[in-house]
Amino acid sequence: MQTGNGSAMTRRAFLTKGSSAALAGTVLMSNISTFAADAGKRRRVAMVGTGGRGMFWCGEILKNYSDVVDLVGLCDNNGKRVAAARNLLGTTSPTFTDFDLMVKETKPDAILVTTMDSVHVRHILRGLELGCDVISEKPLCTDERQCKEILKAAKKSANKIIVTHNARHYPEAKKIKQMLMDKALGDLISVDYHEYLNTSHGSSYFHRWHRLKKNSGTLLVTKACHHFDQVNWWVNSKPIEVVARGELRVYGRNGKFRGTNCRNCPHTKECCYFMDITKNQRLTKLYADCESEDGYIYDSCVFSMDTDIYDTMSVIVKYENGVTFTYTANAFLPYEGQAIYFNSSKGRIDWNTYSGGDYKNKELRLTPNSGKSEVITDLQYRSGGHGGADSSLQDMIFREPDAADPLGLRADVRQGAMAALIGIAAYRSIERGSEVVKIADLAKI
C-alpha cells in the first residue's frame, strides 16, 4: 500500500496506526467542550417524548448509566403514555405533561429530546432558555426556519447542544474515517451510498406519524439525516448544493385496498404490510392503550391517502472541497442495510452491510488501484444497539464527556444542522421539480 505521500506502508501497519495523524486531518471538529457533571455528582437529565426512541434512551440510562446520570423527570403531551412509560421502565422518576413545569420542579442539567421530529425545535429552544444543555435525537429539525432559529439560539446560549448521530460510531465507520484522514488511497473524489429498507422496517414509517411531511420532513430528514451526517463527517467538508428526485411508488395512494388501521382492517390476510401490535405488550401499552388521549394511531394503514412523503429517493450533494456524494434510498426492498462506496484517486473502499432473503453481504474492503484487494477484519465490535454504535455514543455523552476525540465523533449543533439541511434541501429540490438548491440559501452554517 502507498500512503498519501507515496511512501510504502503495510496494511497492518496502517490499520493499527495511532490517531495522532488523524488529529491533523480533521477540520470540522465539534465545539462541544463538556457535558460532564461536577466531580462526585450525577448529571441530572430530564426527558421529553416517551415514545419508542425515548424509551430506548431511558432504558439505557437506567440500566447502564445510573451511576453517572440521574433520570429526574419524564414528560409527554400524552398523560397516559408518560404514565405507561414510567411503569414499563420501572422507574420512580416523576412524570409531567407540562415541559416548563418539569424543568422548574426537577432542575435538570440537561434535557433529552426524543419527541416527534417537527417539535424538537420547541424543546431545544425552551431548554436553552431555561438554562439547560440539550441532547437532541436526530434530526435536529425538519425545515430551514427551525434550523435558523436553533442556530441563532445556540450562538447566544452558554449551554451546549449534542445531536445523537450514532452512525459515526459503527466500528466500520470509525475505520473508514481513519483511512480517509490518513489518505490511505489518496484523495477522496466521490461517495456512493445506497440505503436499503426492507418491507418491515420501510413500511413502519408509513404506519406512523412519519408518513406526513409536516411531522418528519420526509424520510430524507427523519431517516437519512444520520446518513448525511455520516458522509459529512467522512468527507470533512461543508455541503453546498443539493439536487434530488423522489416519488411515492408503493405506499399511500398506490394501495389496491386500504383501511384505517391494522387492528380493525378487513384486508389483514391479503396485506403483506399487516402489523399486529396487540401481540406486542410494550407497543400496546405505549400506543393502543393511549389513543383516547390524543388520537394518535401507531398502526395506521400504509396506504393512507394523506401520505405525502417518498418511498424512493435519489440525491446528489456537492461539497465545498469538490467531493460529490450520491445517495439513494428505497423503503420496500427484500434487503435491509447499506452499501457504501468511496472512490479515491488511488483506489476504493467498499462497505457492504445488508442482508435479506437468506442472503448476507457484510464486508469492509480496501482495494488500491495497483495491488491486491483486502478485506479488513480487525474491527473492534461491542455489545449494544446498531452494532455497538449506540453504546459508543452513550459512553461518550454520559461516561466520557471530556475524553479525547481524535476522530471527531461528537456531533454538535452545527453538524446536526448540516445533516438536516441536506435532507431539507433535497425535499425542497423535489418540490421544485429537481431544482438545484444551495444550502446557503436555506441557512448560514
Domains contained in the chain, CATH given: 43-166 (3.40.50.720), 167-251+307-442 (3.30.360.10), 252-294 (no CATH)
C-alpha cell at 356: 435479506
pLDDT confidence of 31, banded at 50, 70, 90?
low
pLDDT in tens, 177-186: 999 999 999 9
Average pLDDT over residues 409-424: 98
SS (H, E, C) the chain: CECCCCCECCHHHHHCCCCHHHHHHCCCCCCCCCCCCCCCCCEEEEEECCCHHHHHHHHHHHHHCCCCEEEEEEECCCHHHHHHHHHHHCCCCCEECCHHHHHHHHCCCEEEECCCHHHHHHHHHHHHHCCCEEEECCCCCCCHHHHHHHHHHHHHCCCCEEECCHHHHCHHHHHHHHHHHCCCCCCEEEEEEEEEEEHHHHHHHHHCHHHCHHHHCCHHHHCCHHHHHHHHHHHCCCEEEEEEEEECCCCHHHCCCCCCEHHHCCCCCCCCCCCCHHHCHHHHHHCHHHHHHHCCCCCECCCCCCCCCCCEEEEEEEECCCCEEEEEEEEEECCEEEEEEEEECCEEEEEEEEEECCEEEEEEEEEECCCCCEECCCCCCCCCCHHHHHHHHHHHHHHCCCCCCCCCCCCEHHHHHHHHHHHHHHHHHHHCCCCCEEHHHHCCC
Statement: residue 16 has pLDDT above 60: no
pLDDT in tens, 129-177: 999 999 999 999 999 999 999 999 999 999 999 999 999 999 999 999 9
- Note the pLDDT of residue 6: 38
pLDDT confidence of 380, banded at 50, 70, 90?
confident
pLDDT in tens, 338-374: 999 999 999 999 999 999 999 999 999 999 999 999 9
- Note the pLDDT of residue 281: 97
What pTM was computed for the model?
A: 0.92
pLDDT confidence of 36, banded at 50, 70, 90?
low
Q: Give the range among 238-242, 376-380, 426-430 with minimum mean pLDDT.
A: 376-380
Q: What is the mean pLDDT of the chain?
A: 93
- C-alpha 282/C-alpha 277 separation (Å) is 9
pLDDT confidence of 29, banded at 50, 70, 90?
low
- Note the pLDDT of residue 385: 78
pLDDT in tens, 293-321: 999 999 999 999 999 999 999 999 999 99
- C-alpha 30/C-alpha 244 separation (Å) is 28
Statement: residue 1 has pLDDT above 80: no
